[in-house]
Structure 1
Amino acid sequence: MFDSLKKKFSRTSEKLEEELVEEAKNEDNIEEETGGRFSFFSFGRKKEEKEEEEEENLLPEAEEEESEKEKKSRFWSRSKDDDDEDVEEEAEEEAPEEEVEEEPEKEEKKSRFWSRNKDKEEDKEEVEEEKKSRFWNRTKAESADGEATGGMFSFVREKTIQEKHVEDILFELEMELLQGDVAMEVATEVVENVKENLVGKKIKRSNDITEYTFYALKDAVAEIIDIPGPSMTEMLEEKAAKGEPLVVMFVGINGTGKTTTIGKLANYYLKKGYTPVIAASDTFRAGAIEQVTYHADNVGVKIIKHKKGSDPAAVAFDAVEHARAQGKELVLIDTAGRMQTNTNLMDEMKKIKRVSKPDLVIFVGDAITGNDATEQARKFNEAIDIDGVILTKADADSKGGASLSIGYVIKKPILFLGVGQGYDDIMEYDADWMLDQLFSQDEEAVDET
């Protein structure tokens, strides 16, 4: 998921590091240090969590090591004392000459045995000390946490990231974001924020460049994807507490998975203990009524439908009245898929909204379509003022353009993500989760080639 964006972010970090290291070499202001440079995604884990985890791992090991050493020391001491007593007894018994000659060989074997064990103990201590050194000093190799290939450099004289260092690199990032279906205003905002966060930073080591770039990009993206807005679940809880149904109207073009999403949401809230009802307000196609009926039957919820060609607004109205009469908490209104440029059909949708008075109007878009989904959401928002977005096929979205752009462009939140084909494959949107996906430590997801 979002592999394309991950690659772009990682390349930005690498190029900035190359730029500054090359300049430092020309200035004779660089020296190589032991250890390797850190990869871009090795900074994904929170520092506090990492320190706590490392301390928990290291401290018990150190105590256990001391205990083991003490046990071995007592064991070897007892063994040595026993051996010394045996040697004295054998000397008193006037052993044969050949046996006396073998005694130095035995002592030499024991000496080698103790020496080998002592060497092992020293080697083990060195390994433990190296582990601790890696914890306290970033310059040591740390392959378990994503060390990248290549040497790590330090600057003899501290360097400052200047605008000239990032200008070309960030221009290239902006172009790559646009090619990845990120909206123009979003790409520009990300680049400007990264520039503001990087310029003026003082660096001592090449790993600092990677770390600063990671957090500059992460902060910039965090501001883009976290759009405040209503939570459908919270609104449902509030309405249910008042004895009223939450009415939700779904809009979007054909083929985005709108009807399937309605089935998923009915299943989602049914499992939470609510009783949904579905309104088949796409009366323009008989196939649409059959399709939404199929999903309603599969998840086990009531569907309100009229015959093909009926007034869509009347179907929505009847569903709302049914929910009120039967004490059902949620009304999900399916509408005809239509292009955002079809004025007549958009007017019909406005009528459904006037009659059913929905609490939420949700645009359903296909994440894979990228900028098309963003533009569709913009048009629907201008026509009927949507309240939020659901993106389908997010699990198959390698570019991430729509997920990054759509909420920021229309200033409305993403409410759910479709992450598969099954009825359970839907999740409430969480900006922190999205940020983790975009800046994942899973380096296998980032092809360096």
Structure 2
Amino acid sequence: MFESLKKKFSRTSDKLEEELIEEAQEENNLEEESGKKFSFFSFGRKDKKEEEDSKSDVAEIPQEVESIQETDTSDDETSDDKDEKSGFWSFGKKSSDNKEEPQEEESAEEIQEEEESAEEIQEEEEPKKSHFWSRNKEEDTEESEDADEKTEEKKSRFWSRNKDNDSSEENDEDEEPSGMFSFITAKTISEKHLEDILWELEMGLLEGDVAMEVASAVVDSVKDDLVGRKIKRSNDITEYTYNALRNAVAEIIDIPGKSMTEMIEAKKAQGEPLVVMFVGINGTGKTTTIGKLANYYLKKGYTPVIAAADTFRAGAIEQVNYHADKVGVKLIKHQKGSDPAAVAFDAVEHAKAQGKELVLIDTAGRMQTNTNLMDEMKKIKRVAKPDLVVFVGDALTGNDATQQASKFNEAIDLDGVILTKADADSKGGASLSIGYVIKKPILFLGMGQGYDDIKEYDADWMLNQLFSESGEEVNINEA
């Protein structure tokens, strides 16, 4: 999801770093530093990794200690136990074992020849010994240099896990293979450094179907956050830019509002059903979304009822009837061409009489410029008195969905938004803009074609999608 926006955010960080490093080179204010350069998206994983690392450190340190204890214990074994070990270990010990006396029949020359032969074989086999035994014997000065280096490397990887600035970890997955730089005298980010970069960001957001006012809000927020920042290392540039962009987007997408589930519970306490009316243009997936919501709340233990108030479009009643049958909920319908407001009214009365908690009213799709159909929509609202009027928009249409929502909001005063096909949205313009522009919350996101492919909107989840690397999207069932 949102691959286009992710690339634009990352490019903003890279451009600012290039700008500052180039200026520092001209000022002779740059030096290469040991360590690795962090990628833009690595900062989004730091919180998770720190928590995981702290747990793994606690788990692994006792294992290291245990292995050392086992090694120490092995040194105290009796000579009988040692003799039971493989011939490899016992073979080279003849020269150092004072407990074994040479046989009286052997001459001194024969004994010396046997000892020299044993030492030569021991030298040939020494590198094959396990690192486990060799790394804990500090007094063993005959161990090969290769074994020492490998053992030291293993130890350093284990103990350096808690050192924030340790540059010896070669395989850190959060780091880029490029070098890191530091400034001899700290650099201060000024408006001059950001002028071209933020203009490019704003153009990129507009190309991604982000609304003009949203793009301007993001750029202004990033500018206020970065100007005046003092930079000592190149990694600081990446981190500050990442945080500035993330904070700007967080303010844009987090529109306060109650969830539909909370409203159902509030109405249930009053002995009334929650009445939800769905509006939008043709082809956005409005009727399918109603089927998904009926299934969603049925699984939560509520009893929905659907009103087939789209009485104009050919096949509309059959379509919503198909979804109601598949999900297993009651459908209230009239003949084609009947008054849609009457259908909505009957559905509400049925829910009250049967003690059902949720009424979902399907209305005819209409363009925001069709005055007659917009007036009819207002009539349905007056008769059914819905608690929520929800606009259903197609995320793939980008800025068009935002403009449509604005027109519907002006005509009927929307209470929330549902975006369909969000899983296939690479640009993210509608998801980023629509709630901010009409000042109404996004309630649900359509994430696929199945009845279970819908999730309640969560601003933190959305933020993680926008600032995660490719392929790290969170599964809707795990969110």
- For residues 409 and 427 of structure 1, the distance between their equivalents in structure 2, rounded to whole angstroms, comes to 22
Change (3 A) 1:46 1:151: closer
The 5 Å alignment of 1:378-389 reads: 378-389=406-417
Q: Which entry has the higher C-alpha Rg, 1 or 2?
A: 2
Partner residue, 1:64: 63
Aligned partner letter, 2:119:
E
- For residues 447 and 422 of structure 2, the distance between their equivalents in structure 1, rounded to whole angstroms, comes to 5
Structure 2 residue 392 is matched with structure 1 residue 393 = no
Structure 2 residue 186 is matched with structure 1 residue 128 = no
Displacement of 1:243 after TM fit? 1.3
Partner residue, 2:102: 90
- For residues 441 and 76 of structure 1, the distance between their equivalents in structure 2, rounded to whole angstroms, comes to 50
Of 184-193 and 90-99, more deviation after overlay is shown by: 90-99
Structure 2: runs of 5+ lacking an equivalent? 83-88, 135-145, 474-479
- For residues 21 and 64 of structure 2, the distance between their equivalents in structure 1, rounded to whole angstroms, comes to 41
Displacement of 1:67 after TM fit? 3.0
Displacement of 1:105 after TM fit? 3.1
Partner residue, 2:232: 204
Of 15-24 and 96-105, more deviation after overlay is shown by: 96-105
**SS of aligned partner of 1:169:** helix
- For residues 443 and 208 of structure 1, the distance between their equivalents in structure 2, rounded to whole angstroms, comes to 26
Aligned partner letter, 2:277:
M
Structure 2 residue 174 is matched with structure 1 residue 162 = no
Deviations 1:410-430 (A, max 9, x none): 000000000000000000000
The 5 Å alignment of 1:22-37 reads: 22-37=22-37
| Contact 2:160–2:166 (CA under 8 A) maintained in structure 1 | no
Greater fraction helix: 1
Displacement of 1:37 after TM fit? 0.4
Structure 2 residue 6 is matched with structure 1 residue 6 = yes
**SS of aligned partner of 1:90:** coil
Change (3 A) 1:305 1:409: same
- For residues 291 and 396 of structure 2, the distance between their equivalents in structure 1, rounded to whole angstroms, comes to 20
Aligned partner letter, 1:319:
A
Aligned partner letter, 1:365:
G
Aligned partner letter, 1:37:
K
Partner residue, 2:139: none
| Contact 2:3–2:470 (CA under 8 A) maintained in structure 1 | no
- For residues 346 and 364 of structure 2, the distance between their equivalents in structure 1, rounded to whole angstroms, comes to 17
Deviations 1:108-129 (A, max 9, x none): 4435655664354653343332
Displacement of 1:441 after TM fit? 4.1
Of 143-152 and 180-189, more deviation after overlay is shown by: 143-152
The 5 Å alignment of 1:221-300 reads: 221-300=249-328
Displacement of 1:139 after TM fit? 5.8
How many residues get paired?
444
Aligned partner letter, 1:67:
E
- For residues 329 and 128 of structure 1, the distance between their equivalents in structure 2, rounded to whole angstroms, comes to 62
Partner residue, 2:141: none
Displacement of 1:163 after TM fit? 1.1
Report sequence identity in percent.
71
| Contact 1:16–1:166 (CA under 8 A) maintained in structure 2 | yes
- For residues 20 and 155 of structure 1, the distance between their equivalents in structure 2, rounded to whole angstroms, comes to 10
| Contact 1:280–1:315 (CA under 8 A) maintained in structure 2 | yes
The 5 Å alignment of 1:147-186 reads: 147-186=175-214
Displacement of 1:135 after TM fit? 3.9
- For residues 75 and 121 of structure 1, the distance between their equivalents in structure 2, rounded to whole angstroms, comes to 20
**SS of aligned partner of 1:278:** strand
Deviations 1:241-266 (A, max 9, x none): 22110000000000000000000000
